[in-house]
Amino acid sequence: MRKLFVLLFGLILAGSVLAKEAPPAVPDPALEKRTMALAEELRCLVCQNQTIADSHAELAIDLKNQIREKLKAGMSEEQILQFMVARYGDFVLYKPPVKATTVPLWFGPFALLFGALAGLFYYLLRRRRSAAPQPLSEAEQARVQALLDSPEERR
Amino acid sequence: MLRARFLIPLAVFAVVVGILGVGLTLDPREVPSPLINKPAPAFNLPQLAQPDKTISQKDMLGKVWLLNVWASWCVSCREEHSTILELARSGVVPVLGLNYKDERADGLAWLARLGNPYQISAYDRDGRIGIDYGVYGVPETYVIDKAGVIRYKRIGAVTPEVVRDKILPLVKELNGNA
């Protein structure tokens, strides 16, 4: 019985000695980090609401490989973005540059917000003005007086 | 005056409907290509049928030609195939193929079965030239002029209407002017 325990213990120990630490998933984590950071900024054109970092479409994988290669070859992030824009247009950028064609995109929401705020302000201003206390007209004054003077109410 | 104020929501509604209506007619998959009026990206690829021979965009200088990106796995390529075949057979414009991310045997079998509209198909196994051409959804078709400049790009299947309304008039114009 005791021998069996020793054997078992030995086996468990052997297992943990033999087990290796998991190797990193990529050979160069720093390069991978830069690749993914760049991939986060690029739209996948096959699945348009995903970045190529998120996407598993073949084209996205190819483009990630291209980014990785180009970074390895010493190209800067800026140069790689330009490479992509030259092929796929501003549309690939999640942060498109401010140009004549993208002005509505960048400033449209703010224009709408300010328009709505101006409308609200105008509306409140008008409401306050119309709700300001007004002096009673002569007829109203007379009616008030009549009610105050009426005998039933004076009890 | 009071009546006009009640019309404001209606007017806003009409504007929103108008904008959304226009939005419905647009295809979000058709991204304007930055390559229009730019020189066609250079390539020098093995031919699909003869791996020992190469084909380059330079070989077509002096001609107006079509570059059709296709693959045997692509469903829309099948859809447009008869149109491309007909266009190629009419002899109006030479059509070259770019076999994109395909197996050579699959591509050749596809052509053997359905007919081959291409003078030559370039074989782009890893899709690298496809990236240079901004390909993101096969099929894509480019009209390239005599100076080697891309003049038109069609994303998605070429229909007989596209041939009639876009490609043929453009080819005619490009052949006439230069």
The predicted structure's pLDDT at residue B122: 95
> In this complex, do B131 and A66 lie within 8 Å of one another by their Cβ atoms?
yes
The predicted structure's pLDDT at residue A54: 87
Between A3 and B175, the higher pLDDT residue: B175
The beta-carbon neighbor of A87 closest among B28, B32, B131 is: B131
> In this complex, do A46 and B35 lie within 8 Å of one another by their Cβ atoms?
no
Suggest the residue from A52, A63, A88 to mutate for an interface test with chain B (most B CBs closer than 10 A). Answer: A88
The predicted structure's pLDDT at residue B46: 94
The predicted structure's pLDDT at residue A152: 66
> In this complex, do A91 and B31 lie within 8 Å of one another by their Cβ atoms?
yes
pLDDT at B178 over 50: no
CATH number of the domain to which B161 belongs: 3.40.30.10
Closest CA of chain A from B91, distance in Å: 30
For A19-41, what is the mean pLDDT? 79
Residue B126 resides in a domain: yes
**For B55-67, what is each residue's pLDDT tens digit?**
999 999 999 999 9
Signed CA dihedral, B1, B2, B3, B5: sign only: positive
With bands split at pLDDT 50, 70 and 90, how would you rate the model's confidence at A12? low
With bands split at pLDDT 50, 70 and 90, how would you rate the model's confidence at A89? confident
Residue B1 resides in a domain: no
Between B2 and B90, the higher pLDDT residue: B90
Suggest the residue from B12, B15, B36, B131 to mutate for an interface test with chain A (most A CBs closer than 10 A). Answer: B131
The predicted structure's pLDDT at residue B86: 94
Q: Which residues of B touch A90 (CB under 8 A)?
A: 34
With bands split at pLDDT 50, 70 and 90, how would you rate the model's confidence at B20? very high
Q: What is the DSSP string of chain A?
A: -HHHHHHHHHHHHHHHHHPPPPPPSSS-HHHHHHHHHHHTTBB-SSSTTSBTTT--SHHHHHHHHHHHHHHHTT--HHHHHHHHHHHH-GGGBSS----GGGHHHHHHHHHHHHHHHHHHHHHHHHHHHHHS--PPPHHHHHHHHHHHH-TTT--
The predicted structure's pLDDT at residue A30: 86
Under DSSP, the state recorded for B71 is -
Q: Which residues of B touch A (CB under 8 A)?
A: 28-29, 31-35, 101, 126-128, 131-134, 136-137
Between B74 and A11, the higher pLDDT residue: B74
> In this complex, do B28 and A58 lie within 8 Å of one another by their Cβ atoms?
no
ipTM of the complex model:
0.74
pLDDT at A71 over 60: yes
Average pLDDT along chain B: 91
**For B85-116, what is each residue's pLDDT tens digit?**
999 999 999 999 999 999 999 999 999 999 99
The predicted structure's pLDDT at residue A134: 76
Under DSSP, the state recorded for B93 is S
Which residues span the domain enclosing B116? 32-177
The predicted structure's pLDDT at residue A11: 65
pLDDT at A131 over 80: no
Closest CA of chain B from A134, distance in Å: 22
Q: How many domains does chain B have?
A: 1
Instruction: Return the minimum-mean-pLDDT range out of A81-95, B55-69, B71-85.
Output: A81-95
**For B129-152, what is each residue's pLDDT tens digit?**
999 999 988 899 999 999 999 999
Q: What is the CATH number of domain A27-97?
A: 1.10.8.640
Q: Which residues of B touch A89 (CB under 8 A)?
A: 31-34, 134
Closest CA of chain B from A27, distance in Å: 22
> In this complex, do A48 and B29 lie within 8 Å of one another by their Cβ atoms?
yes
For A13-41, what is the mean pLDDT? 76
Under DSSP, the state recorded for B147 is T
* Portion of chain B with pLDDT greater than 70, in percent: 97
The predicted structure's pLDDT at residue B103: 94
**Which residue on chain B is closest to A43 by alpha carbon?**
B136
Residue B40: name the closest of B141, B164, B138 by CA: B141
pTM, to two decimals: 0.72
Closest CA of chain B from A129, distance in Å: 17
Between B78 and A56, the higher pLDDT residue: B78
Closest CA of chain B from A20, distance in Å: 35
